[in-house]
């Protein structure tokens, strides 16, 4: 009987000691700190003081340049882009690859109808080069949105033009500056290329003002959503054909 009582007492002492140890462990647990920047993914850390919480901000990396771009006799710097109209845009995923991957296409750049709260009239094209979207304003607070590829670092530009010419399966005559620039990299361009599936201008082209810039198709659809061109706005062939049928010569085009 005495032996049994001692065994019970030992069990109780072990249980009480375990509870005390557990309580002490939780009482001494380091505080959980949440990053104060609620626009970024929450960062939870153990230890440290609350004011030392690490701020993590993910932003799209927008290339900067000091190269001047010219259009209609005026000089425009990328830093001085003005926002004309204000389409409701969906920011480009900041975590996507910095370079296009062949044969892959991000579905966010598929054509779709979206809300548009800008001031531009129906029939106007608004190109948001920062987020890689082209909007065709359709009216009633809506626009048809397409994904585009835009000018690479050093070739960004902004301005307002009109569509001065349209062409189906356009031929391509690379500017002399481009031929020299690419030759220095070991890429030799033809003096002229007839229109067709292998042509970089793709299935359709809409020429902007008196500039060398165009809205055109591409033989590399995986580059949509990236800054890869020499200033032209490129679209998938099926998308540029759709846009081509919806706009006329004289259509206002705003690049922001």
Chain segment 26-51, per-residue pLDDT in tens: 455 444 333 333 333 332 223 333 33
Please choose, from the candidates 145, 148, 143, 135, the residue with its C-alpha nearest in 3D space to the C-alpha of residue 111: 145
CATH number of 69-91+105-255: 2.40.440.10
Per DSSP bridges, beta strands 74-76 and 69-71 are antiparallel
Residues paired with 145 in a beta bridge: 112, 135
Please choose, from the candidates 63, 46, 108, the residue with its C-alpha nearest in 3D space to the C-alpha of residue 227: 63
Does residue 149 have a pLDDT over 60? Answer: yes
pLDDT value, residue 107? 92
pTM recorded for the entire structure: 0.63
Largest CA distance in the chain: 108
Mean pLDDT across the chain = 74
Q: What is the spatial distance between Cα 121 and Cα 114, in angstroms, rounded to a whole number?
A: 15
Residues across the chain: 256
Give the residue numbers annotated as catalytic, written as ranges: 216, 232
Does residue 241 have a pLDDT over 90? Answer: yes
CA 94 to chain centre: 7
Does residue 152 have a pLDDT over 70? Answer: yes
Is-contact 251 163, C-beta < 8 A?
A: yes
Please choose, from the candidates 238, 156, 227, the residue with its C-alpha nearest in 3D space to the C-alpha of residue 203: 238
């Amino acid at each position: 009987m005495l032996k049994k009582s001692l065994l019970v007492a030992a069990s109780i002492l072990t249980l009480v000691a375990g509870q005390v140890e557990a309580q002490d462990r939780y009482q001494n647990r380091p505080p959980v700190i949440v990053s104060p920047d609620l626009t970024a993914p929450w960062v939870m850390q153990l230890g440290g003081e609350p004011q030392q919480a690490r701020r993590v901000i993910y932003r799209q990396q927008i290339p900067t340049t000091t190269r001047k771009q010219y259009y209609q006799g005026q000089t425009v710097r990328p830093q001085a882009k003005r926002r004309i109209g204000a389409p409701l845009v969906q920011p480009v995923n900041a975590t996507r690859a910095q370079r296009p991957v062949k044969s892959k296409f991000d579905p966010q750049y598929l054509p779709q109808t979206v809300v548009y709260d800008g001031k531009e009239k129906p029939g106007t094209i608004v190109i948001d080069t920062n987020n890689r979207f082209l909007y065709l304003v359709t009216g009633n607070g809506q626009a048809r949105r397409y994904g585009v590829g835009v000018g690479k670092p050093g070739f960004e530009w902004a301005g307002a033009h009109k569509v001065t010419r349209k062409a189906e399966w356009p031929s391509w005559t690379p500017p002399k500056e481009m031929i020299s620039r690419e030759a220095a990299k070991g890429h030799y361009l033809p003096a002229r290329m007839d229109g067709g599936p292998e042509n970089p201008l793709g299935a359709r082209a809409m020429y902007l003002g008196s500039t060398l810039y165009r809205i055109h198709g591409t033989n590399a659809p995986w580059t949509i959503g990236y800054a890869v061109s020499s200033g032209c706005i490129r679209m998938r062939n099926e998308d540029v054909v759709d846009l081509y049928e919806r706009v006329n010569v004289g259509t206002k085009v705003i690049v922001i």
